[in-house]
Every structure is written in C-alpha cells, then in structure tokens.
Amino acid sequence: MEFLTLSTLKYSAYQFATTLSDVTINQIYGITDGKAIGTYVEKAFNQYLSSRYIYTPGNTASGIDFPELEVDLKVTSRRQPQSSSPFRDASQKIYGLGYNLLIFVYHKTDDNLCRTARLSIENVVFVERDRTADYQTSYGIREILRRNGNLDDIVAFLEERNLPLDEVGRNMMAQRILTQPPNQGYLTISNALQWRLQYRRVIAIATENSVVGVENLLNEENSR
C-alpha cells in the first residue's frame, strides 16, 4: 500500500462520499444525534482509508484527525452545518485554526418500512488552513489596514469584536497584525470554551468554486 497524501485524501473523500450515498445503514436508523452520526461517518471513512493507504490516525494528543497532513475531519448536517473545535488562542479567529478542514455535509433519511437509514453526502468541502479564520473578523481587519488604520484603530476593533484578549494581549495582537496582515478567512467562528465553527459560507463558496483555498471535492477535478 502507498502512503496517504493530501491529494489521495481528497480523492478518497470524493470516492467515499459518492459510495456512501448509495448504501443503506442499519446502525443509525432512528438516530437524530448529530454527534453519533458524525462518529459513524468518521469511523467508516477511516476504515475506507486504512484498507487502501498507510497513515497515522489522529488522537487526543494531536487534536486533529490526520496530523501528518494537518487536516481535521468534520461531519455535519445540512440543516445546521456547524461543529466545535478546540480553542487554542484568540489568534485562530484572525489567522486561522492552524490546520486544514475536510467537511462532509450530509442529509439523513430513514426508511421506516425497512428500518434502515441512508446518508446522502451533499457537499465535501476542503478549506485550506489560510482560509479558516473568522470571516467578519479578518474582513474587518483587512479593511482597517486598507484604509491606512493604525495601532489604535486595530486595538479598538479587537475590543469591539470581544476577542478573548486582555489589554496587553490586544496591543500585542495589533502589533502583529500591522506587520503580518491576515488572509481573508471564510468560517464563522463564535467565542466559547471551544470554538463554534459554522460552515454555510464555505459551503456556498465551494459550490460556486469562486475562492482559491476553498474546494468542492464532489467536483472530481478538484478532488484529484
């Protein structure tokens, strides 16, 4: 077997999604808990990969599903496309999470007569790490810089956005922003003990195929 690479991970995600959508599943019939469904899909995808490639699965220490490729897998329902992510520091909202995202967006239906379920994977989105910042936060900072804003302008913006930073932290972050402007991110990230990531925007952007770094892998050309 060959080693798993980023390109083979993407193509495998495409193949797995198209295959899974045609399968009837007994184990998740009647289940509405998104976490349980997500766990089922993650386990099934890892089984699919491990039969074809050599790789090291993620664990609690690594914090992400494919640490060697710097990719975290997220599985979410189309009704409420969101998930949680470990909070590291406030800079993740400005500069990104620090890793890529592979997002499966599913629609689940139950067959009450056969007592089986079907998962239709409607979107498979890959978001490069440089695009995983909060959309409004990174957009606002880039606009301040575009209008020749200074340190005080950025500090005020960070305070208004209620980022989890104290006064010293805001000043240090503002100085970093002046010398290292962030890329535009496309997630919606809510403050919490864990980040709450929302994906409606990246799903729409991936469907339009309009931004470099946000890919729709169900387009076979993007998955290769």
**Residue carrying structure tokens 């019939």:** 29
pLDDT score at 224: 57
| Alpha-carbon span 1 to 47, nearest angstrom | 14
Looking at residue 104, its pLDDT comes to: 97
CA distance 32 to 94: 34
pLDDT at 58: 86
The pLDDT assigned to 217 comes to 95
pLDDT in tens, 77-128: 999 999 999 899 999 999 999 999 999 999 999 999 989 999 999 999 999 9
User: Residue 59 above 80 pLDDT?
Assistant: no
Q: Domain 2-83+98-132+192-223 classified CATH 3.30.40.10? A: no
Q: What is the mean pLDDT of residues 34-39?
A: 93
Task: Give, to the nearest 10 degrees, the angle between helix 135-146 and helix 151-160.
Answer: 160
Domain definitions of the chain by residue range: 2-83+98-132+192-223, 136-179
- For residue 60, the model assigns a pLDDT of 65
Q: What angle do CA 3, 133, 102 make, to 5 degrees?
A: 30
Mean pLDDT value across residues 188-198: 87
Confidence at 21, pLDDT banded by 50, 70, 90: confident
- Reply yes or no on whether the pLDDT at 211 is more than 70: yes
pLDDT higher than 80, residue 193? no
CA distances from 179 to 175, 176, 200 (A): 7, 5, 31
Q: What is the mean pLDDT of residues 204-208?
A: 93
Per-chain mean pLDDT for the chain: 93
pLDDT of residue 210: 85
